[in-house]
Structure 1
C-alpha cells in the first residue's frame, strides 16, 4: 500500500533524490519548498506511479505555513525535513553583523524543520509514522553558526522522539558529510577540492544525493521501527561515529 510522504526542500539535491526514491517505490510524494518553479521542474522529472504534488511556501514563516497546511496531505506516513541552507559570510564586522548571521542560520535551518513538523504532527500515522531530519557533519565537528544550528536539530530530535514514541512514531536524524551535486556548496568544486574531500573519507569517494536518500529510506522503513532518537552518520568515514 502506498505511503504518503512529505519532503521539504524537495526540489533540488538531497531532497529531490529522496523524493525520487519514494516515488520509484510507489509512494505518494509531496515536495515542499520556497521556489515554485524549482518544485514544478522536479515534480515533472520524477517518475513514479503517482504524480508528485508540490507546495510552495516559506517554511520559516509561520503565517504562510498555516495558510498552506490545507494543501498538505491529511495523513502523513513519512515526513522528511530536508530544507535548509548555509548563510554566506560577509565582511561586515561588529555585533550587529554577528547577530544577523546567527539569526539567518537559525531561521534557515531550525525554524523550517520545527514549524513543518509541528504543522503535520496531528496528521502523522499512529502507529508507524516516521520523521527523518537531515542535519550536517558540521553539527558534530563544528562550523560556526551553521554547525551550531545543525547541532540544535540533534537535541530537538531527542525531545521529538520522546513525544512521539508512545504513539508508535519514530524520529531520527541523518547526518551527511560532503555531498556532490547539490546547491549547498555553490559552484561545482574543482578537481583539487574533490581530491581533498575524497581523501577525507575512508571509502575513497565523495557522497552523492542517492547515498543520503538510501539512509533516509532505511530510517523510514517498517524494519527501522525500533530505532528512534538516533542520528545516522552518512559521510564515508570522514567523521567516525561517537
Structure 2
C-alpha cells in the first residue's frame, strides 16, 4: 500500500534529500515551503507534490492538513538559522526578535504542523523532526530552539505512541552542501568541523535521509521518544 509522506521545508538541503528518498520508495510525497517558485521547481525536480505553506501561520497549516488527508509519515524539516536582525533596533528589541524568529522557525513550525495533522495519522505512522548538534553546544537562540524541539518530542511520543505513532528527533551534526551557513562558512571552519568528527568527514543530507527512512520503517517500531544523533561522533552519548 502506498504511504503518504509530508516533508515540511522540503525545497532544499536535508528536507529535499528526505523527500527524494521517500519518493524513490514509491511513497506519495508532499513538500512545503514558503515561496511558490522554489516549491514548484523542487517538486518538479523531485517528482513530488508541492504545497506553499508558511508553517508558522496557523491558517496555512490548517489548510495544509486538509490538502494532505491521511498521513503515514510527517518529517518536520522546516527551520534553519534565523538571519540577524537589521541594525537600528534597540538591543533588547533586537534580542527578542532574534529569539522569537529562531523559536518560530525551529520549534513552532513542528508544533503547529504536528498538532494540525495528529488526528490524521494511520496506525504505524511516524513523526520525525530534524534537530541539531547546536542543542548540545553554545547554540544561542537556535540551539535553545532545537533543544526545546527534543523536549517537546518526548511529550509528543507519550501522547501519540499508544496509538501506534512513533515520534523521534534526528539531531544532525555538520552537513555539507546545505544553505545553513548562507555562504558564510570559511575553509578553516569547515576543516575544524570535520576534524572534530570520529570518521573525519562531513555529514551529507543523504545521511540524514537514510536515518529518517529507517525511523519510518517496520524495523524502528519500538524506537520512540528518542533523539538520534547523526554527527560522525562529533557529539557522543552513552
Pick aligned residue for 1:66 from 56, 62, 69: 62
Structure 2 unaligned residues grouped into runs of 5+: none
Distance of 2:29 and 2:142 partners within structure 1: 29
Pick aligned residue for 2:233 from 224, 234, 237: 237
Query: More strand by proportion, 1 or 2?
Result: 2
Q: 1:186-201 counterparts in 2 under 5 A?
A: 186-187=182-183, 189-201=185-197
What residue in structure 1 maps to residue 156 of structure 2? 160
Distance of 2:27 and 2:133 partners within structure 1: 29
Q: 1:98-109 counterparts in 2 under 5 A?
A: 98-109=95-106
Distance of 2:144 and 2:25 partners within structure 1: 35
Residue range with higher mean Cα deviation, 176-185 or 193-202: 193-202
What residue in structure 2 maps to residue 208 of structure 1? 204
Distance of 1:22 and 1:197 partners within structure 2: 29
Pick aligned residue for 1:133 from 125, 129, 150: 129
Distance of 2:64 and 2:70 partners within structure 1: 15
Moved over 6 A (4+): none
| Matched length | 236
Aligned-residue CA RMSD (Å): 1.4
User: Does residue 94 in structure 1 map to residue 91 in structure 2?
Assistant: yes
Q: Deviation string for 1:118-138 (max 9, x for gaps)?
A: 111111012x01000001101
Q: Deviation string for 1:9-48 (max 9, x for gaps)?
A: 00000000000100111111010121221121111112xx
Distance of 2:72 and 2:42 partners within structure 1: 21
Give 1:64 shift. 2.2
Q: Deviation string for 1:65-111 (max 9, x for gaps)?
A: 22333222x11001000000212334655221111111111111111
SS of 1:239's partner is coil
Structure 1 unaligned residues grouped into runs of 5+: none
User: Does residue 124 in structure 1 map to residue 138 in structure 2?
Assistant: no
Pick aligned residue for 1:110 from 77, 99, 107: 107
TM-score, with length taken from structure 2: 0.94
